[in-house]
A and B are shown apart, each in its own frame.
Chain A
Amino acid sequence: MSDALFLHKDHLLPLLRRLGREYRLVGPVRNGLGDTMYAEITDLDQVRLDLRNQPQNSLKSFLFPQDDPLASYVVDEGPAREQALTYFPILPENRPTLFFGVRPCDLFGVLYMDLVFLGGRYRDIYYEQRRRGAVFLVLGCNRPFANCFCNATRSGPFLEFGFDLQLTDLSPEGKGYFVEVGKAGGRAITREMAPFFHPADEEQARLQYQRVLESRGLFEQLVHVDLACRLLEQDQDTSAILADLSARCQDCGGCAHVCPTCTCFTITDRPRGKDSGERVRCWDACTFAGFSLMAGGHNPVDVKRERLRRRFYHKLKTDVQRHGRPSCVGCGRCVDICFGGVDIIRFIRRLTDLDEARSTAAGKET
C-alpha cells in the first residue's frame, strides 16, 4: 500500500488542466443529445465530463481509426504508357495522449490491440505512432452497467495491472479518489504533479477495498465465460446454437465496430482523380460475407452461421489458445448495439445452458 495516494474530487479538473498542457486529453464527455462518448478534449471548460456512465465507444478509434489514410499515391505514366504508382506514407503525428476516465475493460482492449499491432513479427507503425507515450488513468467501476460481465472475463471492475494510475471513487464517505500507481507513466505524473496527491490513509484503503468487493456483487449479468471457453476447447458442437442466432443477424457489423478488441481491417485505394489518390485502411468485420471472398468469386465461409462462428470462436477459443485468455473484455457493448440479439452473452448462455442440461440429464441417468 506504499504506492497508494489520495486525490481530492475538487482537484481532478485542475490536475487534468495541468496535464493538458503536456498531453492531448481524451476522456468521457456527455454530448448535447445525452450520449456519453470518449472524445478528444481541447477545452475542459467547454465540455461536460461524465465519469458516471459507460461511454458508448471504446478507445479503439483513437489508436486505430475507423478510416485511416496510410499513404497517398500518384500515378505516373511511363514512356510506353504503362502506369506506375508511387506511394508516399502518411504517418500520423505522435502526440502523447492522456486517456482519463478509462474503464478497465477499455484499457484491456488497448492491451489486446498492443498484442495484435505490436506483439507480432511486424510492428504496425501507424498504431505505434499513436500509441507511443500514451498514459492511461483508469477509473474503476463502483457499479457495473446493465450489460457488463467483466468479472467473468477478468478485465474489471477493477484492475490489478496494466494501468498507469487507477482511480477509485470513494464518495460519498470519502470526498475523492483512491489512486493506485501502476506503470512508469503514472509514477511520473504523481511525481511531477505531487502537490495534487496525498498519501492515502488506512481508512481510505479500507473504503477502496470495500468498493471493490461491493462492485463484484452488483453484476446483473451472470455469464460463464470460462466454462464456455472450456466447452469450445473440448470441441462442443455449437452448430445448432449458431444457426439459431444467425437467423436474426442483420449483417450490419455493428458488434465488430463497437468491440474494443475487434481489429480486422481492409485496405482500399481511394482515387482523388485520375492521377492521384489515397490508400486507406478501414475497419472490417468477420461477420461480413465479403470478408473471406476470394478474387475468383469463391467464398470459403459463405454461410452466415459459419461467419458468426468465426467471430465468437476467435474471441473465446483461438485467442485463449494463443494468448491464454479470451479476447472478449466483457464490456457488453455488442449486447446494446445488436438489432437481433445476436450477442456474445446470448451465445455463451446458450452454450453453457446446453452443458448444464446435459449434465442434469446425465445425473438423472446414473
Chain B
Amino acid sequence: MLVSQTLDIVTTAAILYVVAAGLLIVFGVMKIINFAHGGFLTMGGYSALAVSDLGLNPVLSIPFSFAVGTVAGMAVERLVVRPLYSRPLDAILATWGLGIIIGQVITLIYDRGVHFVQSPISGAVLVLGEEYSKYRLVMVAVAIAFGGALALILHGTRLGLVTRAVIMNEDLARGLGIDSGLVRFVTFSLGSGLACLAGALITPLSSVDPSLGISWLVNVFMLVLVSGVSLFSLGVAAIVLGGAQVLISSYANPVYGSMAIVILAALLLRVRPRGFASE
C-alpha cells in the first residue's frame, strides 16, 4: 500500500505538472490566465485521435499535437489576445469564450461522442513488489523532461533571457529595446503548443471527448495561482496538492479528494498570498 500510494502521489503530481506547464508560462509573461487552456488540451486529445485514425504510429502524435497547438496559439495571439493587451480582464474573458468556441468547433467536426486513442504503452510493470501502470510511470519522465526543457530555454538561451526580463519588468525591458510584443507572441504560441501536447499525452489515461480539457482546467488554474511564475514552485505545488488529493481520496473519499486542490489552494492563498513561490 505504501509503495503504491507513493507512486500514486508522484505520478499524479507529474501529470498535473505536464498539464499545468503551458498555462504557467503564459501566465508568467502575459499576466493573464489563459482560460482557453482547456480548449487547447482538448485540441491535443483530438490531434492524437487524428493520428491514430490515420493509422500512424502513436508516437507521431507528440510532434503533431505540439505543431497544431503552436500554430493555433499563433493565430489566437495575433487575432484575439494582442488587441486586448491593455485590457487584461477582457483578455481573460476572451480566452474563456475562445475555450467554448474550440469545444463547439470540435463537436461540429467530431460529434459529442466519446472517442478512444490506442495507447503506445499499455499494461503494468512490477515496481518494488507492486504492479503499477507503465504509462503513469512514463509520465514522471515526461514531467521531468518538460521542466528541464523549459528551464533550459529560460536560463540558457537569449530568448529565455529576454523572456525573464519581460517577466520581471515589462516596461523596463521595453525601454532597453526588447520587443516585448514578440516575447508575448512566442510565449503564447509555446504555451499553447505545450497545452496541446499535454492533451495528447493524457489520452492514454482518459477518453477523448469535447469536454476533455474542462475537467483539468480548474485544478491546474489553482496550481498556477499558488506557484507564482516559477517552474520549481509549480513542481512543489503539484506534489503537495496532488499528494493531498491522492491521500484524501484514499483515506476519506474521492468526492472530497476531487475538491482538495481547489480548497487547499484557496486556503493557502489566504494565509500566504505568494503561495509556494519563494519571493
A, B in one complex: no
